[in-house]
Amino acid sequence: MSIHTFDLSLPEYAAPCERPVVQTLIDLLLREGGVVSVYDEEEVAIHKSSDKTEILKSMSQTGWDTVESYHHDGDLRGWFSLIYNNGSEQEPMIVISDYSVNDWTENVYRKLDEAFGGYEL
């Protein structure tokens, strides 16, 4: 069993119970040389970055984000739609409102659900 620590300040405007899910999501998206783009309600917040802290700082500036994950060769692996403070009632997985359906994103979601599903924080 491994112990995970979280920066409870990021993303800044996400509910505290959502932050560990979002941070773990970004960790999973960055694996194997992946890069991440974040689109908020208005614009591209960050484009194809591998800097976890900068990615997290760019998130939750508006009510929702779409997070795209790219393989190191540039191919899109999938996307996740996040809605912050979405009536989660302390259920952290509620922040993920939708995601592209493919084997890779299903695997990422399954890992998150194993870690955070069914818990009220």
Q: What is the pLDDT of residues 22-58, one digit of tens each?
A: 999 999 999 999 999 999 988 999 999 999 999 999 9
What distance in Å separates the CA atoms of residue 95 and residue 16, rounded to the nearest whole number?
Answer: 11
Give the helix/strand (H/E) hosting 46.
strand 44-49
Q: Considering the entire predicted model, what is its pTM?
A: 0.92
DSSP structure string for 54-95? HHHHHTTSSSEEEEEEE-TTS-EEEEEEEETTSS-TT-GGGG
Residue, of 89 and 21, whose pLDDT is higher: 21
- Cα–Cα nearest to 25, from 83, 91, 84, 82: 82
